[in-house]
Structure 1
C-alpha cells in the first residue's frame, strides 16, 4: 500500500498533537505534533521503504489495527525505530516485506532481538516467530499491552510465585541479577506466552501444553524489559 507511510505519519502526528492540545492547549498541540513528527516521519518512510503492509484486505486490517486500537504501541515503535536509525542501523526489507512489521538488521541491545510495537531489531531466523508473537500481542491488547507488562514485572519482582514452576536446573538463581535475568523475565506473561510458542515449534504441541522444557532441550535465555520483547539471539 503506497499510501501507508504518509497515512501512518499523519495519524501519529495528529493523535499526539490532539492529546497534547487537550492537556496543554494550542501551544502543546503544536509542540506535541512537532515532537511526534521526529519519530512518525522516519517510521512512515520505513513503512514505505519496506512495503510493510500488503495491498490486500489483510494488509488493510493490519494497518487499521496498528493505527487505531494499537496506536500507542505503534508510536512507541516509531520512537524505537528513530533511535535505531539515528544510530546508523539499517532496515531489512527482505525480512518484513508485506508482513506488517519493520525489521532492522542490527541489534538494539547487544546479543538480543528486541521488539517494540511492530518494529523488530536484530532478529534472526531462530527467533523470528517469537518476535512475531510480541507484535501480535501488541495488536491484541492495544493500549493495555505495555501497562499489563509493567504491572506483571512489578508483581513478579516482589511476589515471586513463579519460583514454584521455575526451571531451577536450567536457569539457576544465583544472585540478585540472575533473579531478574533468569527468573522474573522468563515468567512475565507476554514472554511466557511467546516461549510456549517456541516450545511448540521445537518439541511439538504436547510439550507446549505442559509449558515445560523437555529434559536435555536446548536452552535459549529470554530477557525482557518492561515494554519490550527482548530475546537472546
Structure 2
C-alpha cells in the first residue's frame, strides 16, 4: 500500500466490518450479540485498533499474509484482540509509546518502553495483538497462541492461572510449610526457574501455566 492514508482507512474498515460480521454470525447461537450497543462497542474498538494498526503499518496489505492475519485477528481471535485493544491501550501508554519500528509488518501494535528498565523494558507483555517491549524471547509466541486457539485462548489462560494458584497455595500451606519449618527448603512455595520474567510466590504460578511453558519452550 503506497498511501499511508489509504492503508489506514482500509485496515480500519476491514477490522470493524469483520468484527461486526462475526458478531452477526455468532448471534444465531446467542441473540444478544446482535444488540445494537454490542455491535457499536465492538465495531468501535476494532475500528480504533484498526486505525492504530494502519498508521503503524502493522499489516502488510501488499501480501496475502497481511490480509489473512487481519481477518483472523478480528474473527477467530476476536476475543483476545478486543481484550488487548482495551487493556493494552489503556495501560501501555503510561509506560511507552506506539512504535512504528516494532509494529510495521509485524501484524501487531507494539509500544516502545520510555525507560531502559522496568515494565516494557525488562518485562514484556502481549495481550491479543497489542504488545509492549517488542518481540523479546517469546512474545510473538503468545500472538501465535491466540491465533491458533482463537476463542479458547483466554479461557485456557484464565483456568490455568486459577489451577496453578490453587496448587501453589495448597502446597505452600501444607507440605511446603512443613519442609520450610524443618529447614529442608528456604521457601514454602514452588519457585520458578531463574529465567522466568516473574519471581517470588507468583513466579511459579506464572511460569507453570501451559501458555508460558509453551512460550519459554521456544527459547534457545
CA RMSD, 1 decimal: 3.4
- Residue 57 (1) aligns with residue 28 (2): no
1:158 maps to 166
Residue 12 of structure 1: how far off its partner (Å):
2.4
Q: Secondary structure at the match of 2:75?
A: coil
The structure with the larger Rg is 2
2:15 maps to 8
CA contact (8 A) 1:12 1:75 kept: no
1:46 maps to 52
2:157 maps to 149
| Structure 1 segments unaligned to the other structure (5+ residues) | 172-176, 201-233
Q: Secondary structure at the match of 2:217?
A: helix
With structure 1 as the length reference, what TM-score do the two structures score? 0.66
Residue 106 of structure 1: how far off its partner (Å):
3.8
In the alignment, the residues of structure 2 paired with residue 48 and residue 168 of structure 1 have an alpha-carbon distance, to the nearest angstrom, of 39
In the alignment, the residues of structure 2 paired with residue 168 and residue 29 of structure 1 have an alpha-carbon distance, to the nearest angstrom, of 45
2:200 maps to 178
| Structure 2 segments unaligned to the other structure (5+ residues) | 2-6, 177-189
- Residue 113 (1) aligns with residue 124 (2): yes
In the alignment, the residues of structure 1 paired with residue 193 and residue 85 of structure 2 have an alpha-carbon distance, to the nearest angstrom, of 39
In the alignment, the residues of structure 1 paired with residue 160 and residue 71 of structure 2 have an alpha-carbon distance, to the nearest angstrom, of 28
Q: Which moved more, 1:182-191 or 1:85-94?
A: 85-94
Superposition pairs for residues 195-214 of structure 1, below 5 Å?
Answer: 195-198=216-219, 200=220
Cα 1:85/1:33, change in 2 over 3 Å: farther
Residue 178 of structure 1: how far off its partner (Å):
2.8
- Residue 187 (1) aligns with residue 208 (2): yes
CA contact (8 A) 1:69 1:143 kept: yes
Q: 2:144 aligns with which of 136, 140, 148?
A: 136
- Residue 34 (1) aligns with residue 40 (2): yes
